[in-house]
Amino acid sequence: MMRRSLGRKRGCSLLMVVLTALTVALSGCSSDKAGDSANGSESTGASTEAVTSSADSNAASSEDLSKLIVGIPQDIDALDPHYAEGAGTREVLFNIFEGLVKADENGNLNPAVASDYTISDDSTVYTFTLRDGIKFHDGSLVTVEDIKYSLDRVRGADSGEPLIKQFSKVDSVNVVDDSHVEVVLKEADSDFLTQLTVAIIPAANENPDTNPIGTGPYKYVSNSPMENFVVTRFDEYWGEKAYIQDVVFKIESDSNRIVSDLENGTIDMMARLTSTQVSQLSDQFDVYEGTMNLVQALYLNNAVEPFNDVRVRQALCYAINPQEIMDFVSDGAGVEVGSAMYPAFTKYYMEELNDVYNPDVQKAKDLLAEAGYPDGFEFTITVPSNYTQHVDTAQVISEELKEIGVTANIQEIEWNSWVDDVYTGRQFEATVVGVDATTLAASAMLSRYVSDSSKNFVNFSSADYDAAYASAQATNDDAEKTKYYKECETILANEAASVYIQDMPEYVVLNKKFTGYVFYPLYVQDIAKIRPAQ
């Protein structure tokens, strides 16, 4: 195909003076966080088609194609996969670690460390067959004891505190024999298989936080904080071997340098570029358009004033225009979302929630007056500076809120500070980020809103929500589970837990020396599928 023209902004419906102010504020920025494409309503939430053809890709016969340099926007927050928090970390570790099952690009869960599994009729006992001859990166054979160790570790068998909340349902992990392990649940859960993508690691590895050892197609080499993360192909991998020998994940924290680093060969690939950045690239790159599969929102701290008042949160929802944001930030690309679920979760996604808060300035003003803020108020949006598309979104939001007398100041901070202060410390008023799912279960998105969840960084608290979520978890009937999950989404929308905006477009740029990039319905980068173009 011809390269798609992505550089021209479509018109916003903001007043001309506001548009002028935004143009001045944003024209020097290239946008960099990403999400979903205009095709995001498809069942897998992804497209694997390159926008440009690689038929004329650069001749590479004299070049070393055994090494790929992948730009990533942030540092790795943990080498231990059971403690990794950031989506940017998980997408890298996907290449090193595997669970008993592993998601593919079509959203299927396929056997990985396990070669087969069975689920009891009442969905309380999951039995796995260890894959014959599968090895860890240190050359040792994976054993059923390693599986038991890994799952017991995640469920907090020793500490009593699960590392992943859903593993609190596990009653026991039992070694049946040298080839079989069973996971016994306290209650039925037909979705629990989605949790078993959690990494299997060696029981004998005493330092997984400094020496990560997995079973994936790549093995760990080194990590230089704020510089790079290096892996090499694992030639004893049980599955299809990776094509590229060595991969360097280079940290590109300055989004203004991404285009120049691509052009000068400092990096070969970068995900989540914006339309502006794509339009600045030469024809030596293929641009793949797909979906990020996340929910970008103005996340509000429900525990601080004035956001502890539902009327204030609702007022902001009425004041903000998602389509206007998409028009300005990503040329109209993206899919509007009205709650904490994105379109790739086809049977759970509720498009009708997009209309709960159609833009209505007067209604927003009335709600503020009712809440005791007739003249508006002032607050701070804290945004990770390395995700420019989130910064751009925050700037558009700030302009939109002026229409209802609300002043939103923007504070940009480094990613690690954002994780510590906002996500972990919950010391913030509002933030703009994208929240993704760690598994293919709806609970991966919705569990974080349960009142006592450690991941409930917005401090949302609703007895009705907690009850609906508990009902979803308690039933083994898929239709009932879906009904309760949708009830959860509806509560989030009606109570304006946050100002939901969109599932964002993702543009992945790959030097034409390479090909084979594939999108997933989860936040991962499967480097093993990338190969030399010739």
User: What pLDDT shows up at residue 11?
Assistant: 35
CATH fold, domain 67-76+216-291+508-532, is: D-Maltodextrin-Binding Protein; domain 2 (3.40.190)
Which helix (DSSP H) or strand (DSSP E) does residue 494 occupy? helix 478-494
CATH fold, domain 293-503, is: Dipeptide-binding Protein; domain 3 (3.10.105)
pLDDT confidence bin for 307, thresholds 50/70/90: very high
Q: Please give the model's pTM, rounded to 2 decimal places.
A: 0.76
- Is the Cβ–Cβ distance between 236 and 117 less than 8 Å? no
What percentage of the chain's residues is helix, strand, coil (to nearest 5)? 30, 20, 50
Domain ranges within the chain, ordered by starting residue: 67-76+216-291+508-532, 97-197, 293-503
pLDDT digits 0-9 by tens, 206-239: 999 999 999 999 999 999 999 999 999 999 999 9
Superfamily grouping for domain 97-197: Dipeptide-binding Protein; Domain 1 (3.90.76.10)
Q: What is the DSSP string of 37-61?
A: -TTTTSTTS----BSS--TTPPP-T
User: What pLDDT shows up at residue 63?
Assistant: 61
Round to whole Å and give the CA distance between 353 and 355.
Answer: 5
Mean pLDDT for the stretch of residues 151-176: 92
CB-based contacts of 16, cutoff 8 Å, min separation 6: none
Round to whole Å and give the CA distance between 307 and 301.
Answer: 6
Round to whole Å and give the CA distance between 413 and 418.
Answer: 6
pLDDT over threshold 60, residue 334: yes
Which of 55-64, 80-89, 435-444 has the highest average model confidence (pLDDT)?
80-89
pLDDT digits 0-9 by tens, 481-517: 999 999 999 999 999 999 999 999 889 999 999 999 9
pLDDT over threshold 60, residue 20: no
User: What pLDDT shows up at residue 118?
Assistant: 96
- Is the Cβ–Cβ distance between 137 and 123 less than 8 Å? no
Round to whole Å and give the CA distance between 101 and 264.
Answer: 39
Are both 97-197 and 293-503 of the same fold? no
Round to whole Å and give the CA distance between 212 and 202.
Answer: 9
Q: What is the DSSP string of 135-201?
A: B-TTSPBP-HHHHHHHHHHHHTTTTSS-SSGGGGGEEEEEEEETTEEEEEESS--TTGGGGGGSPP-
